[in-house]
Amino acid sequence: MKLLLTGGCGFIGSAVVRHLLRHTDHIIVNVDKMTYAASEEALEDARTDRRHVLIRADIADAAAMRQVFTTHQPDAVMHLAAESHVDRSIDGPADFVQTNVVGTFILLEAARAYYEALDAGRKAVFRFHHVSTDEVFGALEADDPPFCETTPYDPRSPYSASKAASDHLVRAWQHTYKLPTIVSNTCNNYGPWQFPEKLIPLVTLNALEGKELPVYGDGSNMRDWLFVEDHAAALVRVVEQGKPGETYAIGGRQPRTNLQVVKAICAHLDSRVPDPAGKRERLIRFVTDRPGHDFRYEIDPTRTEGALAWKAPHDFEAGLAKTIDWYLANTAWWRSVRAARYAGQRLGAKTERAA
C-alpha cells in the first residue's frame, strides 16, 4: 500500500515509519509540520529510503492537504499528527484545539473528497486510521476495570478534550459520509527518540545530570506503559487488518505508579552508570500536583489481541532497559535537543515535573 502518514517525525510516528520500512513493502508519504517535538533524525534510514517521502506541511492547511491527496493518491491514511503534552495543553490550549480538532477536520474533509472520487475497487480497500489516546476516557479509581473499546468518554484536560473531539469527528465522518474510518486508543508510550519533556526521558536525563527528579503528589498516579516499537507494530496491523467503524484498544498490560517508574529508572542507571554521590533515588522530590491530574489509566487490550493476532512482546523492565540504554548511547541527540529548545531558559515548573 501507499500510506499517507501524518506526524511521521514525531515520537510514535517515526517508530511507525521505521517499522514499515523494516517489516513491510509499503510506501510512506510522511506529512509533518515539524514542530518542537518533531525530529527528522528519528526517521533514521528512512531519510534516504526511496519508499519514504517527507512533506513539511500543516494538517490544518486545507489546500496543502488536498494537494497531498491529489499528488500521491494514497491507499490509506494513518493519522498520528497531534499536540500531546498535557502540561502544555493546560498552559496553552489553543494549539491543541487548532491541531487536534481543526487539523483533524481539515484532514477528514480532504480524505472524504479524495475517497468519493475513487473507483469501487480502490474504495473497497481505503482506510482512514485515526490514532488516539486512553486519556479521552477520563480517570480510573484503584478498583475500576481497565478502559476498553466501549468505555464512555470523560476527558479531563484540554489535551484529552481535544483528542476526544477528534475521535468523535472521525466516527461522525464514518456514519454520515461513509468514509471508512478506524480509531485506535493507546496508553502511555515510551522508547527511543522520545522528546525530553516526557516522563521517562526527563527523569533519565535529569538523573544522569544529578538534577532533582520532581514527582507530582505522592507518586501514586498509575499509568499503563507500552514500548513504542510494540505500538508501531500494532498500528500497522490496524491499518492492514482493521475493519471500518471499529475501535481498537492497544495496551501493554504493564501498569506502574509514577513513583515505581522513577525508582526503576534510578535503579537501572545506578547499575549502568553509578553515581559517585550515591543512589539516584536521593534526587526524588515530591511537588504540588498539577490541576486535574487523572489518578489512573489502564487499557484492556484483549479484543485487539484477538482480532489482530497481536500482543506487546516487551514487558516494562525489558523495554525500559532498552530505552535507557538508547539515551545513554545517543547523548549527542538529546543534548542538542535540549540546547536548541531550551536555550537561555529553565524548563517551566509544570513542564519539568516528572509526572
Catalytic residues: 134-135, 159
Among 57, 340, 325, 31, which Cα is nearest to 192's? 325
Alpha helices in the chain (DSSP H): 11-23, 62-72, 86-91, 94-96, 104-116, 120-125, 158-177, 199-208, 228-241, 258-272, 302-308, 316-329, 331-342, 349-352
CA 287 vs CA 12, 95, 140, 182, 349: distances in Å = 29, 27, 22, 39, 10
Distance between CA atoms of 228 and 188, rounded to whole angstroms?
Answer: 9
DSSP 14: H
Cell of 204: 533519565
Among 99, 102, 103, 65, which Cα is nearest to 85's? 99
